[in-house]
Structure 1
């Protein structure tokens, strides 16, 4: 009897070990597909479409291009989100790889619209995507009645297939037309998530550093005033820990090239690495499995002013900066940072 129990116990241990390994591999696959989507999907789909146009299947590509022309302005009008895509199981594996968590600190009224300022950018904004473009961390359950729209570069929506994939997750272009439409013609209960620091902030992200590019970023505050949309500071602890980057000093040739790309194309090329596909001890494109905890702060009530003055914009910007610093200071100790850590605001 004892021998039989020992064999059964050993088989059970082997089964659970195998299940654990399978889940880990699924987590790696889920993150890898997203990284490849982020880096190459737009260009790859464009090249494939051009190739199909030169084959006997050209009619398929022609039909899609005709649809693309017809559907061109959809991203500017709130996009075409799919709850089915947002609830894919792959996003839960994506979440558990790091893992990623979403922390709610205050309720949000469905009678108001919101602009979330997301900080920091990191290399790829992994926390922003998982928390607000999927249901993996339960954003709809935590904030019932609120529709999140993650804003990203408008250029992504000019690329075939990629644009449809992004829209299915509730992602929209970060331009005035799109934001104006969502905040003025889409009812209430909308939350636009803007990664305020953008490409400039990504150039300085590195493990162990908590800094945000915000001092001269005031456009989102002006938009909030024009629409009477409440501002919500959001800080993602651990966003800068998942990749290691080569930081070029100001004045160096490397930083000059990065800034030129940022100015003319909208993004800054970074030299970074994570872990390898088969081993965490080698370099590769996979991010390191470090926890990311995104804390959504208290909303700042913003009045509706059609033509806000610079003084009014400056005032509410300073209120926002103070709120973000207070949010960071309140939660930094809970997520592994020393109480002496200071958020650097540039």
Structure 2
């Protein structure tokens, strides 16, 4: 075992080396010397502040100018200790050991030759004025409000703010009311979901049940998951109270399916197991899960069967809405 003990009483100056004696067993000693001189702190050249930007490169750290990015981002004010030109045409700032950031995303942007980047701001500030990114927003057209996504397409089958968006991109305010009768309060929301699903010519039952399950999932995404309390297993908890479990989403989806004319069975009701709705869809046995947000044909979580999300369900379609590669609505 190596035991290190400093020898006291031998210092004559602050910068004198410290002698350390290390015993290595049975009377054998080895010595080493190390300096006690403190390193001088590098003074900062100036401070920078990162601009607000949603891009992944804003505030990202590199090990060298425009080389070897790491999974580290900074925001706010930082001190700059050195600067060097990068191959991308911008000046890079050193903010730490092997930590470089692009000046383009700071309030002091510079070109690689050291010249400041001109801005269009009237107050002559050094913040780069970049084009604003498109954001999702509401647009009123022909007396109806429609929600447009950042890609410019209308949103459908969604829950935005206080409104449900139906299959035709029209919005409907969710009747969140606490009138004292929990069943009636939840029933108002269930009826609205049934209207948003609607019934188009050529619709299969599995599609309508799938959309209904997805609407229930949208409510659950806003709720707090819990297995305690009075409302976690009720439709009132999912739609109004803001708390849910698989028992609650099944009760909520069952209420919606009833308004749509379906007969269903609440599987594993009052049991400490996963719960869902079992029903006949297009003459076949099927299922609808408000917790997962989709419906399909066949058995579901029975006999240790592994169930995957149907590729043509509303959940997958909405996740790929940017591409709209799945045209199932």
TM-score range, shorter-chain basis?
A: under 0.3
- Bigger radius of gyration: 2
More helix by proportion, 1 or 2? 1
Q: TM-score, normalised by structure 1?
A: 0.22
Q: TM-score, normalised by structure 2?
A: 0.23
